[in-house]
Structure 1
Amino acid sequence: MKLPIVAYGDPVLKKVGTHIDQDYPELKQLIANMFDTMYHASGVGLAAPQIGLPIRLFIVDFHDDEEDEPQYKKVFINAEILEETGEPWNFNEGCLSIPDIRENISRRPKIKVKYFDEHWVEHIDEVKGMPARVIQHEYDHIEGKLFTDRVSILRKTMLKSKLDAISKGDVKTDYRMRFPNKSKKR
């Protein structure tokens, strides 16, 4: 099932996610719905806060044909980034919760991340390149951060009217969204 994606301005996007356990209700179906939602929106990652759930869960499915990289598809439950290493590099990032805005964001190219997969097997992986960047972006979501929090104050001020418009629903997307400040039609 395709779920609505929560838009910029919704308080759930600023909450630090809570840990979940194996008894989390309908977790398998939630993960399947998140993949359906992400694919429908042409995303490469999606975090539970983006569908309105303040929990520590995100998914990633990244593949770059141009770089001949293998597909990197994983579920991250209760993730914790243990290390970020390497020379920071800028890349133009976007977010399904903040459509039509892209900004250069600096991140480190290599991470070590600890998490549980959908079968509750614990992993500690070292990841580099674009998959590491996608994980860092989604990890920010479960920490209550958005990529716009990583831009300069001046740049964020310049984006304010666009961000306000998104929160009010003044944006067009090919996927369903839930807007925190959309006025109700009478």
Structure 2
Amino acid sequence: MTSTSHIVVLAASMRGERMGRVLADWAGSRVAAQFGSHDLIDLADCVLPDDEHLQPGGGAPTPISERLDRADGYVFVTPEYNHSYPGSLKRAIDWHYREWMFKPATVLSYGVQGGLLATEHLRGVFAELHMVTTRRVVGLHTPWYDLGPTGYAAPEPVTKAFDMALGELDWWSETLRVARRDRPYGT
């Protein structure tokens, strides 16, 4: 049985020769199996306004604002760059504010050591935006060794761990959707 939550999978890397999109496609297939569908946002395809127009609490609507707003939860697929997450993801986060509020997120990070420092840095940012980060996250150690002719061929323990993280995301998505509807913050 699938959930009724609407989940956005966000591919954070914008580098050439990147793995992010391949991993986001794999994550999207797992999300679709759990939730029935998903919306994939690839930041490499997204043009945000110049930062000079950024205001506290976000900015003017962007090409992805409505898509983020419709989401009940998020899966962030991010590499670890220099012990953190990429600037492209920071810009996307900063350009939006209300869209993230009181929604859950899980992180699928990757890198030589699994990208978990990127995840840990995101947890503090997400908390500031009133987001709930799932306890379960997944760090992919050297996932380029698991590429096959059809994309990323996740080892069974990775698939199991990610599916468990999605189960937690499902619970938070349903719980927070009801809370946003029945007991909005500030009222």
TM-score, normalising length: structure 1: 0.28
Structure in which a larger fraction of residues adopt helix: 2
Structure in which a larger fraction of residues adopt strand: 1
TM-score, normalising length: structure 2: 0.28
The higher-RCO structure (CA 8 Å, 6+ apart) is: 1
